[in-house]
Structure 1
């Protein structure tokens, strides 16, 4: 035992800690004598010692020194001592420039007090007192500074200690630690069991950063169920065969170690593991043998989960069968889960006992396979849920703009795309209706020829391009003057309904390579087909909306839309105390035109008048067909003077217009009545009535004129 202790003391870890402890002591002494005060006479020595403290501090953290040390000896506190000295070196070196750096040592003391046991704090706390006292003794700080610093350090440590000792905090921390430990163990066990190693193909298609359900988190109920089943079965075997221990050893996914995953035992000296692959009885099952029995047991083939190999008379171990050959295998070795049992008696294992163990191993393997299937079904459900969410987003859109936006969302739900665009056929080419990603603003609304770019080719052949969904270097996707750069995966899909012509194209680009696998491309093709239908419906919906608001003959807004728009404009002008002009226009002698030249020519007259009104109206104005041969024009922000000028300009243009009929040239004139808000009224009905009265007076006074409403 003494020799074992001497060997342990010579271990690399112990030597490293002793060296780190020595560096920490040197550093604290250097701080105490003022080596890190501004104007020090030995800057080179100070820099070398600070570098050593930094190196040993980082190595200590890398080796796990951030955890509470298990070594209760003085040298077990190298980490906290090094960190303390390092912070003091930084504080004293720059503290005069930035006095607020006092928060660093205060915070460190508080963290050490709540993170480490008392024996680990002895050395750093003594070092703090020594450094502060040395600085005072060598006149590098005043007595008030010494007292203030020590008071601040004490307050930080005691304050956090009191807080952490509160009952509520301890309960929260205890629950959090238990939950974290359980979750970690559950996830690790799930990985060992392979509960989410073989996820269905559709799940592999989806982006990892936007899962509806975390596969590992979702495996926790399965782990709890299978663990309870294993525990029950192992205890049943132990009691049936009067065994000391029944243990299930499971290899980690890399095949480097065995972990004790379930155990039923009467012994207390159980080693938690993990255990080296091939250790003891596990090495006998790495070849062709599926069952190994020993009676009496030998020390070289003992069970790995006992701290002491005593009272072990017989050992029997069986490898869990694997019809699918999924257990790890390399170098002619089979690393599989092992069901291992032992008992004190040295009598040979009977064939019946061996058969029972073989059946038990098969049952355990079947439980794992069943759990994998159930877990795969859960993952499949999660994947289908995501696809359904994407499709629901798309199906809920009505107008074209909504459809395009929903398409972008649907694609992003299914693929972690860096660039997405939707092109629609227009004329002899195609135009980019919507794009997101780098350079998207340069593409929006641009029209390209079908003779250039991948999109043009896709529209011509109605097939996805490029063939392997890969691109190398700048790629001409839209046109000669626009190249997509920086993407390694690219897919352009036609928006095609059934077997008809493509109505557009969906472009998806990703910076990562080999993203568009066959399953992923199939899903995107499904989305593209759905988008093609929705684009058609969206365009039809917009056309229906347009027809519902536009007069079919003249292209101006209809009477109902004018009434609603006029209400909105009045509210807006009332809110900002503005003005607007209402013009009612009527084509003079229109009935005579219809009677003389026919209704088709009358329709032509209406269209020409509507064209002049449409050109005269600004984007903020309202131009519509009021009914029959009457038109209406609402001028936003225009008072009496602006209204009269606009009305007169329109009247003159109509008067100069010459229409051609087979019987000869035809001229028409227009009469206009003007009412102004708020001078002639503040409500819609009064303004319309007074504009109509002004129009009536224009007709009565000889037509082809503009009349402003006046009180009679």
Structure 2
């Protein structure tokens, strides 16, 4: 029996030695086809309002045929999801979703459900790095379509905010679903049976024993929320060609502001703290909810996280709503262009501020859950 098992193991190893090169070649082909399809979306080849030439028809048909062949493989995660070989399949799904979305965008149907479903699938099943790369590719294609006049800037901003909300919700649900599955795999013991007199105490101790793995699962959840926030700010910065998008939050006493998160082309941002009322934050000491400066010029300390007399073209700062605690939270953006802010840009940034309000509230609730879990752990340790 041992000899037979060794022969089988040797045969499987010899077979596996020839498979990696073929699998990697197929992965490279899928990745190339997916990149080609994404480029076709960015160039507007799948816009129903465009007049296609024979070159565009040839590229579209070749890309569609190759993409269909790439999508014949199952939607389950591949055995090896390392980058870049594991990027071909999810990027192919992303490109296919955006192709269908652009083809159906002019029909009046709720076509945005197609890319939203792809975003939810990426966030729920793919590794974070893979999902972020696919979303950045789709964002680049949407931005190219906006710059070429195929869609309005306001529509782009609304779509990006919707995709960010879907990705955040799918990530939270993914993290929440991992803990019940882990606890369900633990079989009940005789001592924890309902009729046992020690069942209540042992149940409490069992919960304490599983508290530490659950806490380790919560740490990545907080990190995922932080990465989602950074990604949203970067999407806003690239969509409106901004220099910096920053979120300023107060400390626990509400006396100073700190740079909580930012996306910027600059590398000299100052994290703080800044006394409340410094620079443009002083405009929010009253009931003001929005402040715009265009042109801004080299006003000293207008943006507290910039060095003194930093050159800026236009500045827009918005109060992030906080109905529960009524604390000062600010979303601040600036750009080199000194022209006045358009109403569509202002409306998109107002929506972004509302979205940030919900994300920050979710982060606070997660911190509160972690504190309550820690208190329960201490009680269980005392009972033990």
TM-score by length of 2: 0.42
Q: Report which of the two structures shows the higher radius of gyration computed on alpha carbons.
A: 1
Which structure is higher in strand share? 1
Higher relative contact order (CA 8 A, sep 6+): 2
Q: Calculate the TM-score normalised by the size of structure 1.
A: 0.24
Higher helix fraction (1 or 2) = 2
